[in-house]
Amino acid sequence: MKIRFTLLVSVAVAALAASPAHSANMSSTKPSSLASDAAYCPPGDQKSACGLPSKVVIDMSKAAVKRTDAEWRERLTPEQYRVARKQGTEPPFRNEYWNNHADGVYFCVGCDTPLFDSRTKFDSGTGWPSFYQPLEKSFVGEERDVSYGMVRVESHCAVCGSHLGHVFEDGPKPTGMRYCINSASLKFMPRAEYDQWTVARSPKAK
């Protein structure tokens, strides 16, 4: 497990090293108390907690990837930009990955960091891709979100700050967590291609 973690970190760092760094356009506030007071998202309720956009301010001071607003707009589609960079939410049951059952890994649309494995994906009944844990915990950041008169936990890519969705404590075993994620914030890579991607970026391949 330690070897796999080291490989994942080295792969992510190597993949991001070539990304141009620019001044951040988001500042920070650091809250306390996260998942323990998150609001529940009832399955099938399209106006539920995970159906509302986020209003948090993400700390970009330690982000490995920073881009200007113009660069984000050039890299992303309008829908990806709205969700990932403006903390929007896509419609449930009308997004690319909610019903995707293929074997593989989901990457951040903003910086190509591997975030979630399909082996931890489950059908939450909410209409959004749901996972009970990230591929690597340190790659997914969390912020307390108190918008819309409720308390939720916003999740984002820790590498580039792209908004992913929200985290709730009503998931399946073994973690009991549900990462309710927007498809627009993700890119899917089939398992065989991911294995090749990992090998090509490992230190031994250089």
Distances (CA, A) of 140 to 42, 101, 166: 23, 22, 11
148: region left, alpha or beta (phi > 0 left; psi from -120 to 50 alpha): left
**Helix (H, G, I), strand (E, B), or coil: what is residue 82?**
helix
Q: Which token pair is 67?
A: 């881009």
Residue 14 burial class via C-beta count within 10 angstroms: exposed 0-12, middle 13-18, buried 19 and up: middle
Active-site residue set:
180
**Greatest distance between any 2 Cα atoms in the chain:** 51
Range list of β-strands (E), 29-182: 104-108, 114-117, 121-122, 130-131, 140-145, 152-157, 163-168, 178-181
Burial class (CB in 10 A: 0-12, 13-18, 19+), 54: buried
Residues 48, 126: contact at Cβ < 8 Å?
A: yes
